[in-house]
Structures are given as C-alpha cells and as structure tokens.
Amino acid sequence: MKKLDKTELLLKGSIYKALFTLSIPIMINSLIQTLYNLVDGVWVSKLSSVHFAATAFVFPVNFLFVSLGIGLSIAGTSILSQLVGANKIEEAKLYSTQLMAITLLSSLIFSFIGYLLSPVIIRLMGAKGELATLGNTYLRITFLDLPFMFLYFTINAMMNSQGDTVTPTVLSGVSAILNAILDPIFIFTLGWGIAGAAWATLISKAVLSIFGFIMLFGETNRIIPQFKGFKFNRSIIKKLIAVAIPSSIGQSGASLGFIVLNGFIGSYGTATIAAYAMVNRITSLVMQPAMSLGSALTAIIGQNIGANQIDRVKEAFHKALKLTILIGTVGGVLLVIFDKPIINFFMQSKDDPTVIELALVYLIYISLSMPLMGIFSVLQGIFQGSGNTKYSMAMEIGRLWFVRLPMILFFKHFTAWGSSGIWFSMSFSNLVVCIYGYWIYRKNGWQRRVLHEEAIT
C-alpha cells in the first residue's frame, strides 16, 4: 500500500488492518529504541554492576528534560492527524513548520541547562562515590543529544500523523546498527568506559535526525515544513502548546516521580537498582507490541475525529484494547516460565549474584501486571489522539504520585517486605490507574473537540 493511501485506510478501511499496518513498524521502531538501551546495558554491565546501575540511576533525570519534546511530539501527532483527517493539508504544513521551530529552540535551551546542572542534580539525588561519578559522566553526555532527539520526535510526529510509520522505523534501524558498532569500540577499544556508551548513542542519534530531516522533503511527505520567510506564529504556537503542556506535565511529573522512586530503590542498595533497571528493560522489550498498538491508535483516533467519525473511534479503541490484553497475558506467562534464562542472558556481569536474585522476584510481580501496561497504553492513545491530553496527564502523574510512591513509603516504614514492597506497589498502581482511565473513557469527556475545532478553523 502506498503511503498516500494510508489516510483512506485509517478513515474507511478495516480497523484491525489499520492497527496492524501502523503498529508493526512502530513496534519495530520501539524495539530498536529499546535495543539502544539494551545494547548499552549489556556492554556497560560487562564493566561492573555499578556502571550498569549508574545508567539506570540517571535515566529519569534525562527523561525529565526530554518530556517537553515528547509533549510537543504528542501535540504534533494529535493536531496534524486531525488536520490530515479533515483534509486541511496547507494548514497542516503551517503547523509542522512552527512545531519544528519551537522544538529545536527548546531543545537547545534544555541541553545547555542540563549540562550545567548535571553535577548538582546527581548530588541532590543522593548519589555518592563511584555511582555519583559515573552517573554524572553519563548524564552530561546524554544531555548533548537532546537537539537531535527532539528533532527526531518532530519528524516522527509528522510521519505518524499521516499514517507513515515505516520511515521512522528505517531511520531507527540504521541508527541502532551504528550504535551497536560504536558501543564496544568506544567502551573497550578506546577505553572510554561508560562515557563511550553515551558518545556512541549521541552520534547514532545525530545520524538518525539528520537523515530524517532530509527525508522530510521527499515526495511522500504531504506536510513539508515551509521555512521560506519564516516567522513565529503566536496563534499556532499557542494551540500546539495548549495540547503539549498537559502531556509535558504528565511526562515530567512521571519523570520526577521516577527520580524519587530511584531514590527509594537506591536506599536498598546498588544491587536493587541494577535489578530494577534490568527487569524494566526486559519487560519493555516484551511489551513493545502492545505499546505500539497504543501509539498507532493515536493517529487513527486523530484522523477519525478530524473526519467526525466518533463511532469508528470507539470501535478502534475496543479492538486495540482486546489485542493488548491478549499480548500482555501471553508475554507475562512466558516471562514467568523462562525467568532464569532471560535474566541470566541480560545480566552478563556475575560479580553480584544478589542482582540476579532480586531481578527474579521483581520479574514475577511485574509479569502479573503486564496486561495492565497494554491497557494503559491504549487509554493514553485515545486521550492523546483526541487532543484531550489532560486525561493522559492525570494518568501519568496519578499512577506515581498518588498511588505508587505513597504505597512504597508505607511498605518501607511499616512492613518488613523489603524491596518486594516496591515491586508490589508498582504492579498495583498499574491496576488503579487503568480503572481510573477506563472510568474517564466511559464518561465520554475525551470526546470534547474544543482543541480540535480551534486548531483547524
């Protein structure tokens, strides 16, 4: 199917076909992005468990800064897909131009601030000794890749809004191969250690974004940015930010929550941090199909709302929900059955057997809630695709700040569960937030089209 036929598929074709057509490339893309982290993790874990723990410890900090870019990307996908669904292509070009401009500007600002504040942030998080030194080295370099990452987010939003999920996947594949090649060279051959892993990722993302920018001006892109005579448009930026802010708050709120969560986990020791990071990367890999369906749903929802087809929107939601529950259930069962071989494969360093033991316990807990992770993704897809990102924000923040963290504090100070209290809290919070999200869906508040109507008139 030609890329330009994707809109017809999303608006008139089989829902299942549309979900699979869009989600399979997204899944491959997500797997590639996960492999970025897994490849780094595998190589870094060969150095020591402390090196591996350092990469996990600083990840939420970097993601806090990245959250603005993600928020703008979500806003772009939502608004642009609605414009495409309404067949307002010229207006979509204006929005894509403004989106790229404010994304690049914000990324440069955040990259500069993050680099300067990195040592302070690490110290405030309570890291000491080797963990603090390694974490600061890794974090500072990752801040430098923010402009490339933000640019790719924008490219991804523009392509996804049109139903083109293949182009970002091809770009990610090339970038991942380059990263896999550079990692062992920089880490071991050149002797750069943990800094080598960060530099390999930065260079790979730079290549990814540069080639993506070039491909934006190809014939297959219907909403090519128009930079000739460019000026910032306050009206368009205001509308983009209106959708982006709740998403960014949700993402940044979640990031802050994970920073606090890392502090709690760190209080149980470096081995617990390493186990937590390892299992999260494994479950992220297994849940990519379900998560990809949620991401694919965003464009399907957006275009059909733009075409005023609410019944089709609901049909897409329910079919995506069934598929993600099935995937999560099968994935969870497989992880429980093959738990030891999987953990041993991804934890190459055997210098601390406690990491393996803790990871096996965490894997059992999180496997039980894997269907809920898929449901969470689908609920996010419908709220973000409709432009009602305040609901996705509430789910992101509520899961961590109002359920997970209070429960962890309770188990830490009033029970003898140890780290198992953390694992239980994480699984139970997924259940609570999914119940809340489905309640919001049933209330039909997400159908309000105020943002959509303002965006395309």
Residue 176 has pLDDT above 90, yes or no: no
Q: For the residues 416-427, what does the mean pLDDT come to? A: 87
| Residue 321 confidence (pLDDT) | 95
| Residue 186 confidence (pLDDT) | 94
Residues 299, 223 contacting (CB under 8 angstroms):
no
Lowest mean pLDDT among 62-71, 81-90, 91-100: 62-71
Residue 410 has pLDDT above 80, yes or no: yes
pTM: 0.81
Total number of domains in the chain: 1
DSSP for 145-207, written as a single string? THHHHHHHHHHHHHHHHTT--HHHHHHHHHHHHHHHHHHHIIIIIS--THHHHHHHHHHHHHH
Encoding tokens for residue 246? 């709740």
Q: What is the mean pLDDT of the chain?
A: 87
Residue 1 has pLDDT above 50, yes or no: no
Residues 156-167: pLDDT tens digits?
Answer: 999 999 988 888
Please state, for a pLDDT cut of 70, what percent of the chain lies above it: 94
Residue 422 has pLDDT above 50, yes or no: yes
- Alpha carbon 196 to chain centroid distance? 23
| Residue 415 confidence (pLDDT) | 86
Residues 230-254: pLDDT tens digits?
Answer: 899 998 999 899 889 998 898 888 8
Residue 256 has pLDDT above 60, yes or no: yes
| Residue 204 confidence (pLDDT) | 92
Q: For the residues 364-374, what does the mean pLDDT come to? A: 91
- Three-state DSSP state, 367: helix
- Alpha carbon 341 to chain centroid distance? 27
Q: For the residues 325-353, what does the mean pLDDT come to? A: 82
Residue 447 has pLDDT above 80, yes or no: no
Cα 297 to Cα 276: distance, rounded to the nearest angstrom = 29
Angle between helices 288-306 and 310-337 (to 10 degrees): 180
Residues 95-113: pLDDT tens digits?
Answer: 999 999 999 999 999 999 9
| Residue 376 confidence (pLDDT) | 95
How are the residues of the chain apportioned to helix, strand and coil, as percentages rounded to the nearest 5? 85, 0, 15
| Helical ranges in 267-352 per DSSP H | 270-286, 288-306, 310-337, 339-346
| Residue 406 confidence (pLDDT) | 94
- Alpha carbon 19 to chain centroid distance? 19
Residue 350 CB: number of other CB atoms within 10 A?
Answer: 11
**Which range in 30-39, 204-213, 219-228, 265-274 is most confidently predicted, on average pLDDT?**
204-213
**Domain limits for position 31:** 3-456
Residue 220 has pLDDT above 70, yes or no: yes
Give residue 450's pLDDT band: very low, low, confident or very high (50, 70, 90).
very low
Residues 287-331: pLDDT tens digits?
Answer: 888 889 998 999 999 999 988 899 999 999 999 999 999 999 999
Residue 261 has pLDDT above 50, yes or no: yes
- Residue 386 has, within 13 A of its CA and on its CB side, a CA count of 27
Encoding tokens for residue 256? 């802050």
| Residue 138 confidence (pLDDT) | 93
Rg of the chain on CA atoms, in Å: 21
- Alpha carbon 317 to chain centroid distance? 20
Residue 454 has pLDDT above 60, yes or no: no
| Residue 349 confidence (pLDDT) | 57
| Residue 3 confidence (pLDDT) | 44
Give me the amino acid identity at 109.
I
Cα 305 to Cα 317: distance, rounded to the nearest angstrom = 13
Encoding tokens for residue 203? 């260079």
| Residue 347 confidence (pLDDT) | 67
- Three-state DSSP state, 317: helix
Q: Pick the more confident residue, 188 or 445.
A: 188
Q: Pick the more confident residue, 288 or 119.
A: 119
Encoding tokens for residue 4? 């330009």
